């Protein structure tokens, strides 16, 4: 979800694609009573692409949602918390820059955007650091706060829409590296299990549910260790916490995963791992003006994760 020029018009991104209108509003307008949200929808105060809608209407990427101006998330008068920060380190995590987009290697522990108790995230920091360039920086997609690695940032609205279309058409291929606890599975396999986001408590968590959204993940083993296995993972669909939920489903949660993992995490305990061992390592997609040619970008593992792999055999 991103703000358009009018700050009461919200643009639906890939992560909200398929979500019901009422659930989207409950998530976006935190603290607003359910009765008020349903009343706004019923009275036409909330509109999708300028048209009235029902609570169960499914949202699509690039839909424009109008909400009452006084309910816009955030306080426009709030001082910019990044103003006094030294943001020169951001230049070091930009892997590639072109006229229309950036490729950024996001560190673990940094959210991609502010909200839900986070004052600012990657996109806010980028906007602040590059404000003199007069760009229209927008997230093309998201990765979890706990996950490191490649994320695309559009510098133009036309490029944002083009990349969203690439995602819808399945033309953007992403690969992750993850260290999964255990080694009892075959080398290559596919998990095809639908996922539903459980919001029954304050810790949002994706669970396997036959009534959930279709979710497919490909796993390819890179190396098997005594207590864990390194995998190259390709998400075919892009659901919330998909890789983490599918890994937990086969009883091989990702090392360092507090939400989906186990208490007796030997990797976390032995190496003092303070982050999730999940890294968005590669992304590829067609070039915009050159046929039969793809962009391909890669981000190496952090030194902390490399150290785990270098010393993991010491656990034998």
Residue 316 a catalytic site member: no
Domain end among 115, 140, 168: 168
* Cα–Cα–Cα angle for 118, 119, 120, rounded to 5 degrees: 95
Q: Based on the domain organization, do 240 and 184 belong to the same domain?
A: yes
Same domain? 208 vs 298? yes
Considering the domain architecture, whether residues 149 and 185 belong to the same structural domain is answered as: no
What integer pLDDT is reported at residue 218 of this predicted model? 98
Give the orientation angle of helix 34-43 with respect to helix 21-28, to 10 degrees: 130
Which position has the token pair 């208490």? Answer: 263
Residue 81 has a pLDDT of: 53
pLDDT score at 10: 86
- Alpha-carbon distance values, 261 to 10, 98, 197, 257, 312 (Å): 34, 38, 17, 5, 18
40 contacts 46 by C-beta, under 8 angstroms: yes
Beta pairing class for 47-48 and 216-224? unpaired
In this prediction, residue 193 carries a pLDDT of 97
- Asked whether residue 63 falls in the same domain as residue 163, the answer is no
Indicate whether 216 and 249 sit together in one domain: yes
Tell me whether residue 230 is in a domain. Answer: yes
Same domain, 203 and 310: yes
Task: Single out the residue in 119, 144, 168 at which a domain terminates.
Answer: 168
**Position 83 in a domain:** no
291 in the same domain as 238? yes
* 101 in a structural domain: yes
Q: Among the options 144, 192, 300, 316, which is catalytic?
A: 144
- Give the closest residue to 283 by CA, choosing from 155, 169, 146, 171: 171
> Same domain, yes or no, for 164 and 179?
no
Q: Rounded to whole angstroms, how far apart are CA atoms 316 and 313? A: 6
Q: Is the dihedral of CA 209, 215, 216, 220 positive or negative?
A: negative
Q: What is the mean pLDDT of each run of 10 residues along the chain (316 residues)?
A: 59 83 85 83 91 91 85 51 72 94 96 72 91 87 94 93 93 97 90 92 85 96 94 95 96 95 92 95 92 92 94 85
Residue 104 sits in a domain whose CATH number is 3.30.2350.10
Residue 173 is predicted with a pLDDT of 96
Domain membership of residue 8 as a residue range: 2-70
């Amino acid at each position: 979800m991103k703000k358009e020029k009018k700050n009461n018009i919200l643009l639906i991104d890939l992560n909200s694609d398929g979500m019901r209108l009422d659930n989207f509003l409950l998530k976006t307008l935190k603290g607003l009573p359910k009765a008020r949200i349903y009343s706004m929808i019923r009275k036409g105060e909330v509109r999708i692409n300028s048209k009235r809608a029902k609570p169960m209407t499914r949202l699509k990427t690039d839909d424009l949602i109008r909400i009452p101006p006084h309910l816009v998330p955030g306080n426009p008068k709030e001082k910019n918390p990044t103003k006094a920060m030294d943001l020169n380190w951001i230049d070091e995590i930009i892997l590639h820059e072109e006229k229309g987009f950036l490729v950024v290697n996001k560190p673990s522990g940094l959210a991609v955007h502010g909200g839900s108790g986070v004052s600012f995230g990657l996109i806010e920091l980028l906007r602040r650091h590059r404000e003199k360039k007069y760009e229209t920086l927008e997230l093309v997609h998201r990765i979890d706060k706990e996950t490191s690695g490649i994320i695309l940032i559009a510098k133009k609205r036309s490029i944002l829409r083009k990349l969203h279309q690439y995602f819808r058409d399945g033309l953007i291929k992403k690969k992750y590296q993850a260290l999964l606890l255990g080694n009892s599975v075959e080398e290559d396999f596919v998990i095809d299990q639908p996922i539903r986001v459980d919001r029954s408590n304050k810790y949002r968590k994706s669970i396997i549910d036959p009534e959930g959204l279709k979710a497919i993940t490909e796993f390819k083993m890179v190396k098997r260790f005594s207590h864990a296995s390194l995998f190259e993972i390709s998400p075919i669909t892009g659901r919330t916490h998909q890789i983490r939920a599918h890994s937990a489903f086969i009883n091989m949660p990702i090392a360092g995963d507090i939400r989906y993992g186990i208490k007796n995490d030997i990797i976390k305990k032995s190496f003092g791992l303070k982050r999730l061992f999940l890294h968005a390592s590669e992304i590829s997609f067609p070039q915009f003006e050159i046929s039969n040619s793809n962009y391909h970008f890669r981000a190496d593992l952090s030194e902390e994760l490399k150290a785990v792999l270098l010393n993991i055999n010491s656990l034998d």
